[in-house]
Structure 1
Amino acid sequence: MKLSDFHSTTWPENRDGFTTHLLITMKKIILFLTVLCFVVVSCTKEKTDYEAEIDTEVTEHHEFKEVYAINSDGYKISIEALNGTFYKGYNEIRLKITGSQTGAEADATAVTFLPIMSNANGDRTSCPHRYDLVYRQDESYFSGYSVFTDESGAERTWELYISFTIAGQTHTVKQNISVSEQTNQNLNMTTFTGKDEQQYFIALVSPQKPKVGENELVAGIYRYNRPTNPPSGDFPDASQFSYTEVSGFTLQLDPRMPEPSMGNHSSPNNKDLTQQNDGLYHGVVNYTMTGNWTLNFILLNQQGQILKGTVVSTDFTPGVVGVKSELHIDILF
C-alpha cells in the first residue's frame, strides 16, 4: 500500500491536512535528531578533553628520607620528610640528633622547630607548625609537622630555626631550606579569615591517592595566634610566630563534581570531619568516580557557629560550572 492510499483510506476528508501535519512532525523529528547528535558530539568532545586532563599518575610517598643534615657543635641534626622533600601544604617531620663522630643517639631534650619565610620586602612570617617536637621513644626520633603555605621562589625564602638541650647546654642551628610545589592536588590547602576575624588554615593530609568509593579524609585545621606583646630577645621570638591546632571544631563536608558535564552532583555516605586523638580532623568522602572534585566545607566552632562556608544548592546543573562554597578545596584524582 502506498502512503497516498493510506491517506485516502484512513482520512479521506482531511488528506491534505494530514500530509501537512506529517511533514511538520517529520521536520521536528529531524531537528531533534540533529540537536541530539550535536549534544552527543559536544559531550563526547568535552568528556574526551576531560579525560585527557585527568590522565595523570598520582604518586604515593610512604618512605621518610633525609631532607637536610646539619652538623653543629659536634652533633648531627637529621631532618626527614616523606620522599625527602618539603612540599607546600602538610609535611610530617622527623628529626634525629646524633653525635657527629660516633653516630650514637644524643640525649637531647626540649627540641624546638620554627620555620620562617622572608619575602622580597624583608617581611617575615611563619606557617602552622609544631614548635615543641614530641619524642617517639619506640623509633628514636622527634616528631612534628609543618604546613608550608608557599613554595620557595625568587621572592620567597624559607629558613628553619632549631634548638635543643644536651647536658644542660642549649644549642641553636639555622638552615636554609627549599619548599617545593605540591603537584598532588589531593594534598591541597587553603587559608582564610573567619567571621571571628582570625586567620585559619586547612590542609589535606590524606588520602594521597583516593580510590573510587569511600575514603577516610584527614585534614589539619590551624589558627594563627596574633602576638599580644612586641618581640623580645634575640631573633626569632617564637611568640611572634605561634599557631594552634584548633580544638573541638566541626568541618562539614559536601563533595561535588563541578565540571559542566557532571552537573555538580554529590555522593552519598559522606561524613563530616571531627577531631581525633592525633589532633587531626577525620571524616569520610565518597568519590563515585575519578575526576575533578570540589570539597565544599562549612567550618563550625565549638559553639556550632559558622566561621566560614556556605551551603551549596542540591540542584543538578548540567552544562554549567558547579557553584562552590566560599570555603572549599579542589582536588583531582
Structure 2
Amino acid sequence: MKLLMMTSAILCMAISSCTKDKTDYKAEIDTAVTEHLQFKEAARFVKDGYTIRINTLNGTFYKGYNEVRVTLEQGSSAVQPEEVYCLPIFTDAQAQQTTGPHGYKLQQQVDSGYFSSYIVFTEESQVGGEWQLYMRFSIGGTTYRLNEPVQVVQQANKNLNMTRFTGSDGELYVIALISPQKPRIAENQLVAGIYRFNRAIGTPAPAEFPDPEQFSYEVVQGYTLKLDPRMPEPSMGNHSSPNNEDLNQRDDGRYYGVVNYTMTGNWTLNFILLNQLGEAVKGTVVPNDFTPGVNGVKSELYLDILF
C-alpha cells in the first residue's frame, strides 16, 4: 500500500511538472519559431553586365539545409542561361577549405523561370571563417565565372537542425532536417537529407575556380534512419510517443518518416543510421525506462528539437 501511494505521488509530481513545462514551452514557441514560406533575395552579384540573384526562404543563408533559386538578368530583362553551377566553399582561419552537401548543377524550372538547387551550410560565418559561392553559368556558348562571399547565420529554428559525424565505416556524413519548419501536436511528416562526403583523390591543383570533384557530397542511397523521439527533460521522464515511423528514401532522394509530437516542448530525435545491409553506421538504442527527475539518455546520434 505504501509503495502504491509513493508511486502515485511520483506520477502526480511528474504530471504536474509536465503541465507547467508545457505552458512555459508554449510561451517560448510563440516567440521563437517562425515558419518562412516566401523566397526573398539573399544575394545579388554582377558579372560582365549580368545580374545574378539568389533567393532563399526569408532571404537568408542559414546553417543547415537551404533551398536556393537563381535567376539572371541583363538590364531589366530576364535571361535564360543554358546551365548554372554553384559550389559553396568554407575557408577557416587556417586557410583550410571544406564544403557542405549541395547540388552542384542547378536544375532549370522552365515554368517558373529560375534554376533551383540546395546547399547545406555546415558552419556559420565567423571571424576568420568565410563562405564563398563559386558560380559558373553559360549564355550563348560563352561561360562566365565568379566567386563572392556570403553570410551564413545560425538557424534559430531547432526543427531545422543538422548534424555532421563520422560513421563506423570511417566516412563523413551529414544529416539535415528539411521539414516540418513548425510542427503540430500531431503525427508530422519528417523529411531529412542524408549525405556522405566524397573523399578527394590526390591534391587539388591551385586554380581560380576550384575543382568541384574535390569538394563534393553524394546523397546516401538506400539507407534507413531509425527514429525514437523522446522528451529528455527531467520532468518528462524521457517518454516517447506512439505511431512514429522510421525514415526511408523516396524517388526525390530525400528521406521521409513520421514523428508524433504529443505535446509542445523539448524533444530529442534519437537516430540509428543503417546502411543497405542493415548494419549500424551510427547511433545507439535508447532505454525505455521512465526516468523522472533526471535527464533522459540520448542516442550517440541525435538532434534536439523545440516547438
CA contact (8 A) 1:54 1:332 kept: no
Instruction: Name which structure has the greater RCO, CA cutoff 8 Å, separation 6+.
Output: 2
Deviations 1:264-312 (CA, angstroms, capped at 9, x unpaired): 1111111110111221100000001111101000101111111001111
Matched, 1:128 2:101: yes
SS in 2 for 1:239: helix
Aligned identity (percent) is 55
SS in 1 for 2:77: coil
SS in 2 for 1:261: coil
Cα separation, 1, equivalents of 2:269 and 2:167? 18
Aligned to 1:271: 245
CA contact (8 A) 1:269 1:286 kept: yes
Matched, 1:88 2:63: yes
Aligned to 1:155: 128
Cα separation, 1, equivalents of 2:14 and 2:263? 21
Q: Which of 194, 209, 213 matches 2:182?
A: 209
Cα separation, 1, equivalents of 2:157 and 2:167? 26
Cα separation, 2, equivalents of 1:256 and 1:230? 44
Cα separation, 2, equivalents of 1:42 and 1:317? 10
CA contact (8 A) 2:82 2:140 kept: no
Cα 1:41/1:243, change in 2 over 3 Å:
closer
User: Which has the larger Rg?
Assistant: 1
TM-score, L = length of structure 1: 0.85
Letter in 1 for 2:225: L
Aligned to 1:164: 137
Deviations 1:116-175 (CA, angstroms, capped at 9, x unpaired): 111111111111111111111110111100111111111321111100111111100111
Q: Unpaired runs of 5+ in structure 1?
A: 1-27
Matched, 1:294 2:281: no
CA contact (8 A) 1:47 1:261 kept: no
Cα 1:322/1:163, change in 2 over 3 Å:
same
What displacement does 1:105 show? 2.2
TM-align CA RMSD: 2.2
CA contact (8 A) 1:221 1:281 kept: yes
Cα separation, 2, equivalents of 1:134 and 1:177? 21
Matched, 1:60 2:35: yes
CA contact (8 A) 1:72 1:173 kept: yes
Cα separation, 2, equivalents of 1:42 and 1:283? 30
Cα separation, 2, equivalents of 1:213 and 1:257? 15
Structure 2 counterparts to residues 1-333 of structure 1, below 5 A: 48=20, 51-52=23-24, 55-56=27-28, 57=30, 58-99=33-74, 101-106=75-80, 108-232=81-205, 234-235=207-208, 236-333=210-307
Structure 1 segments of 4 or more deviating over 6 A?
Answer: 38-43
What displacement does 1:54 show? 5.2
SS in 2 for 1:78: strand
Cα separation, 1, equivalents of 2:247 and 2:13? 40
CA contact (8 A) 1:120 1:155 kept: yes
Cα separation, 1, equivalents of 2:254 and 2:11? 45
TM-score, L = length of structure 2: 0.92
Cα separation, 2, equivalents of 1:218 and 1:277? 13
